Amino acid sequence: MTTATVNSKGVGTPTTRIYGALAIVALGWVLLGGLFFTPEDVVQGDAVRIMYVHVPTAWVAYLAFIVTGIASACWLIGKKHSLGFDRVAGASAEVGVVFMAMTLLSGSLWGRITWGTYWVWDPRLTTTAFLFVTYVGYLAVRGLGGSPEQRARRSSVIALLAVLEIPLVHFSVVLWRSLHQQASVLSPDGDIKMDGLMLFTLLFGVFGFSVLFAWLVSHRQRIMAMQDALQTNALDAAVSERLREAQV
């Protein structure tokens, strides 16, 4: 009998440690700059401070669901059907759902200040809530059981359909009459009407949350790889046990 070597240091690597350090620095600035150093907005006053977390978390949620879609397409198209793509898709969707929940919550609190209500069935809010529920469903389907290959096949099809909702959410403020403001940084005319420190904090927030997303997905997909390995090893052990029993 051979003894497998086991290293209990976790799933971190030098690259993920760099991601982690960058995320801590950037998000530390967002916390301090967003709350204390950036100026008030002439219209919204201090309520604008919510923007420094609301916009980056929404961006990361979109990014996460797009990564899920691309990784799922790679699994479906790839000749080897590498489960690595499926794990990246699943890990990215998990992170995306958490960030989408944060976006909905921060938006709701922001809405209470500026609109006087936590929720309104506005096109942007409604399509965002629908996107959130879709990816909760995607994660539920991933958890249905079966082999990793079966999980990958069914969830990749759903991911490719779900990603089509993202343009609908993004352009909902243009397509329909909406309470939600239109894009202020990526506006069609390219004119950014924002104070320099406010814009820097916002963009640094986007960078920080994006690096954190990369860190989280790297860790989660490795955790999934170990869970799959444990499941496969347990199945192999059970089959060997039954064969041994049959021989006795």
Which residue ranges make up the site for another protein (CB under 8 A)? Answer: 4-13, 20, 27, 31, 34-35, 45-47, 49-50, 53-54, 57, 95, 98, 101-102, 105-106, 109-110, 112-113, 209, 212, 215-216, 219-220, 222-223, 225-227, 229-230, 233
The nearest distance, CB 104 to another protein, in angstroms, is 11
Nearer to another protein, 166 or 225 (CB): 225
Query: Between residues 175 and 229, which has the closer beta carbon with respect to another protein?
Result: 229
- Least Å from the CB of residue 75 to another protein: 18
Task: Tell me if residue 45 falls in helix, strand or coil.
Answer: strand
**Using CA atoms, how far apart are residues 148 and 158, in angstroms rounded to an integer?**
16
d(CA 87, CA 93): 10
Please give the backbone phi and psi of residue 227, each rounded to the nearest 5 degrees, phi first. Answer: -65, -40
Residue type, 118: Y
Token digits of residue 76: 């479906």
In contact, 35 and 210? CB cutoff 8 Å: no
Report, in Å, the least distance between residue 171 CB and another protein: 25
Contact 197, 37 (CB under 8 A): yes
Please, which residue, 118 or 130, has the CB nearer to another protein?
A: 118
Task: Please say which residue, 47 or 74, places its beta carbon nearer to another protein.
Answer: 47
Q: How far is the CB of 84 from another protein (least distance, A)?
A: 9
Nearest residue (CB) to another protein, 187 versus 231:
231
**CA–CA dist 118, 97 (Å, integer):** 20
